[in-house]
Amino acid sequence: MSAITVIEPRWVATVSPAATVLTDHAVVIEGSRIAAVLPVADGWARYPDAPRTLLPEHILIPGLVNLHTHAAMSLMRGMADDLPLMDWLQHHIWPAEARMVSDDFVHDGTLLACAEMLRGGVTCFNDMYFFPEAAARAALQAGMRAALGIIAVEFRSAYAVDAHDYLTKGIALRDTLRDESLLSFCLAPHAPFTVSDATFAQIAIYAGELDLPVHIHLHETTREISDSLAAHGVRPIERLEKLGLLGPGLIAVHGVHLNPAEIELLARYGCSVAHCPSSNLKLGSGIAPVAALLQSGVNLGLGTDGAASNNRLDLFAEMRLAALLAKGVSGDAQIMPACRALEAATLGGARALGLQEQIGSISPGKFADLTAVNLSATELSPCYDPVSHLVYAAGREHVTDVWVNGVRRVANAALLDIDEAALVARATHWKNKLHPS
């Protein structure tokens, strides 16, 4: 029999059923999974000898799911700020990557990102970057859940020579690591402007054969759309539809510039959108039509993007900003209430990754990926509605404890399994190589 532990918070926000907040309830963990959610008194009667974590001023929520990251780019945080996307990519990020990206770079940058995300309550991230095997090692070292991108682009890098090579290496890695319970995989064509029709057609075949989601930047900027019209005669989403890429497994990252017909197309095919409001604002890309997406029934998750374009891997910031922008743009204060923002940051991301039966809500049978947030601070007092506080008032600095797969990874706001001093030293090493002073 697996070890049993019991968590007793003041509140439990289960996320599903929607907007459910339980008081005087305990969450029972057996091994890696949630065994029960039950009244505290029943927990004592059934499990009198189980070790307990008492959290009398906390809300317990599902671990947050960061639906779009380039985790290793944490090593480029702040390196080329205040530039539009294509200038930022072509003149700064891509040249730096050509010089520096390696297995070691990706491992160290991803581990740095894992440390930041875990301390901020994120238990799962969906990554798109070179050397995914190095990202896998870092995620497993941190004890964090990761969906790893089988990246595809047409240009050569230190990782692969062409799109076929990227896909071949990524699928081989997926086959090697498919039994790792903390890891899953997505096909990750970078964007319509870096991937050919032939490669997209191959990805559509792989997605069907291997039952993998497809994670792609889509309709991020107006230039992306105008370039697609010039090169292909259609907007990017129409191009992907013709190539067989639209479907329940498609994760459209950003989705800033969508017209009503395209939103209905995403809804009809059951696609998801990874909304990254901070990155979209910082790069001057625009504001995604979240109200229309929600009203059309498109599944919405939240992502930070990479730390080089945000510059924080902070899902609390994204929840608050997503809710406020949706209200401000639509003129409807009710369009994305706090409970809906929390759902986007948890179960919405899980649905997009095809992991909704495994994570995303506090439900018996799911993996015990949990985050505890202390709502007793002066700046959070008094508390009328804990979920409202979670989204509009609290921040990642109020996260105290995090469990992934039933294992406690953060306790009393401290990382348990990562040597932070060594990690900072590695970050400094890479900074000196990227930008010698």
pLDDT at 436: 73
| SS3 annotation, 137-173 | HHHHHHCCEEEEEEEECCCCCCCCCCHHHHHHHHHHH
Of the candidates 353, 324, 329, 359, the one whose C-alpha atom is nearest the C-alpha of residue 340 is 324
Give the HSE-up count for residue 26: Cα atoms under 13 Å, Cβ half-sphere: 24
Residue 46 main-chain phi, psi, to 5 deg: -85, -35
For the chain, domains (ranges, CATH) are 4-62+366-415 (2.30.40.10), 64-352 (3.20.20.140)
% of the chain beyond a pLDDT of 70: 100
Q: What angle do CA 190, 194, 198 make, to 5 degrees?
A: 95
Lowest mean pLDDT among 24-28, 79-83, 338-342, 352-356: 79-83
Average pLDDT over residues 172-186: 97
436: Cβ contacts below 8 Å, ≥ 6 apart: none
Query: 3-class SS at 26?
Result: strand
- On the question of pLDDT at 437 being above 70, the answer is no
Phi–psi pair at 37, nearest 5 degrees: -125, 115
Span 120-156, pLDDT tens digits: 999 999 999 999 999 999 999 999 999 999 999 999 9
Which two tokens mark 222?
A: 């107006």
Residue-wise pLDDT tens digits, 353-365: 999 999 999 999 9
Terminal alpha carbon distance of the chain = 56
Is residue 413 predicted with pLDDT exceeding 70?
yes
Query: Which residues touch 192 (CB under 8 Å, ≥6 apart)?
Result: 216, 217, 218, 224, 228, 236, 239, 240
Query: What is the rounded CA–CA span in Å between residue 372 and residue 10?
Result: 10
Q: For 221-279, write each residue's pLDDT tens digit.
A: 999 999 999 999 999 999 999 999 999 999 999 999 999 999 999 999 999 999 999 99
Q: Kindly indicate the confidence band of residue 383, based on its pLDDT and cuts at 50, 70 and 90.
A: very high
**Best CA proximity match to 143, nearest among 124, 168, 159, 167:** 124
Residue of 313, 320, 280 whose CA lies nearest to 125: 313
pLDDT (0 to 100) of residue 270: 98
pTM more than 0.85: yes
Q: What is the pLDDT of residue 2?
A: 84
Taking residue 137's Cβ as centre, other Cβ atoms within 10 Å add up to 17
Per-residue confidence (pLDDT) for residue 257, from 0 to 100:
98
Mean pLDDT, the chain, integer = 97
Question: Is 90 exceeded by the pLDDT of residue 1?
Answer: no
| 96 has a pLDDT exceeding 80 | yes
Res. 435: pLDDT tops 90: no
